Amino acid sequence: MAARIFGLLALLIVGAAAVIALVEILPLRRDIAARETNLGAREAKLKQPPPPSPDEAVAPGNAEQRYFVFLHSLQAIAAKNGISIPQISYQRAAPDKDSSLRRYVVETTFASPHLQLRGFIRDLRTLPGVRCERLTVSRPNIGATQVEVRLQCSFLVEAAR
């Protein structure tokens, strides 16, 4: 008699678990999958990655347009490496009368872990027309994980005469 009661109780517990699975778990999985798909589609619409290099600016690109693409690429490279650049100063260098090249100088200061800084500089050097002219790295104390960085680089672009 006790075996029948325990068997019936076990059957009721298994039945209740099956009902819970059908009513709660399976619809929840479908809902999560639908939301992930919707979120992925919305994310794809929002992300418009910058061109990988200033040389791939949409034609006909003048020097200023290519320079702004470079600035966008600089910020994208920093974000990719987990670096936030809160301040950038940039200016056009004095033009050389005999040259069709325009030179823009970019200076920035930021704090970053050393490993992320190395990745940022490595990726920055792959941009055509970019030259890192001055890089100053300092650490406030030996136990600090962040380094203070001051970077000056120039961007050269050929301008139409």
- CB neighbours (10 Å) of residue 80? 13
Structural contact between residues 90 and 108, judged by C-beta atoms closer than 8 angstroms: no
Indicate whether 107 pLDDT > 80: yes
CA 111 – CA 89 distance, rounded (Å): 16
The share of the chain scoring above pLDDT 90, in percent, equals 15
Structure tokens at 131: 């030259």
Task: Quickly tell me which residue has 């490279």 as its tokens.
Answer: 77
Query: What would the mean pLDDT of 106-124 be, rounded to a whole number?
Result: 90
- Model pLDDT for residues 63-104, shown as the tens digit of each residue: 777 888 888 888 889 888 889 888 888 888 777 777 778 888
Task: Quickly tell me which residue has 């970077």 as its tokens.
Answer: 151
- Model pLDDT for residues 31-41, shown as the tens digit of each residue: 888 989 988 88
Q: Domains along the chain? A: 54-158 (3.30.70.60)
Structure tokens at 83: 């670096």
User: Would you give the end-to-end CA distance of the chain in angstroms?
Assistant: 102
CA 109 – CA 135 distance, rounded (Å): 10
Pick from 112, 111, 95: nearest CA to 103: 95
CA 94 – CA 7 distance, rounded (Å): 91
pLDDT of residue 143: 80
pLDDT of residue 48: 57
Output the CA torsion 114→116→111→133 (10° steps). 80
Query: What would the mean pLDDT of 143-154 be, rounded to a whole number?
Result: 88
